[in-house]
Amino acid sequence: MSERRERKLQHREAMIIESAARLIDRVGYSHMTMDMLSEEAGIARATLYQHFKSKDDVMIGATRRALENLDQFMGSLSGQAVDQLRAIMRFMMQSGRDPQGFPTMVMHDELLHLFAGHPDISAKFQVLNAVLFRLVEQAQRDGDIAPDLPPEVVIAMIMNNIQAPRAQTVYPGQRQDALAEYTLRILFAGLKG
């Protein structure tokens, strides 16, 4: 396959994933259909099925790509543990808008069951959790996160807050990047105790 054709396919898949994210936000994953997705993406059903066999396949593909990108990003980090945690959280929040980034839609509770049958995805989530756990413990030793907070709770707070920039629909006029920064400031100020 030529490089140009490969880029075109990747672009179309990214567009499909973006369309799926919008639909999931509007109607929920369980109500989303492939017909709705092809309409939202502005492509024929046959074209959609050339890329993904089902809506589950859309989510699995999006999640695999996102976790690979997140893994690469985390591998590039250095510095204080708390700064790395902020950077990871910022990446996850801001890249939710980027089709190659971390789609925050994968954090919807109704989607987590999809990953049970995919050990590679489960393993990547376990690696993410281990990295976050190590960084939280180091930030606690550094005095940047209160030592009495269980690391599991801190990680849960981080993961639950990555969707905060979507609050733009609740607070129109606020830029997504500004909402992400406010979330980071509030969360990490509270974690310091």
How far does Cα 39 stand from its chain's mean position? 24
pLDDT (average), residues 87-93 = 86
For residue 165, pLDDT beyond 60: no
**Reported pTM:** 0.75
CATH superfamily of 59-192: Tetracycline Repressor, domain 2 (1.10.357.10)
Nearest to 159 by CA among 101, 112, 107: 107
Residue 163 CB partners (closer than 8 Å, separation 6+): 93, 96, 104, 107
For residue 129, pLDDT beyond 70: yes
For the chain, where are the alpha helices, taking DSSP H only? 3-27, 34-41, 45-51, 55-75, 81-94, 119-141, 151-161, 176-192
Whether residue 172 contacts residue 154, with contact meaning beta carbons closer than 8 Å, is answered with: no
Tell me the pLDDT tens digit for each residue of 34-88: 999 999 999 999 999 999 999 989 888 878 877 888 889 999 999 999 999 999 9
- Compute the chain's Rg from CA coordinates: 18
For residue 14, pLDDT beyond 80: yes
Tell me the pLDDT tens digit for each residue of 102-115: 555 556 566 677 78
d(CA 170, CA 102) in angstroms, rounded, equals: 22
pLDDT (average), residues 113-119 = 81
Structure tokens at 25: 């936000």
The per-residue pLDDT for 43 is 95
Name residue 9's amino acid.
L
Give domain limits for the chain: 59-192
The per-residue pLDDT for 103 is 54
The per-residue pLDDT for 189 is 86
Per-residue CA distances from 125 to 95, 110, 191 (Å): 17, 16, 23
> Using CA of residue 121, residue 20, residue 55, residue 46, what is the dihedral sign?
negative
d(CA 56, CA 19) in angstroms, rounded, equals: 14
d(CA 129, CA 192) in angstroms, rounded, equals: 20
| Chain mean pLDDT for the chain | 83
The per-residue pLDDT for 96 is 55
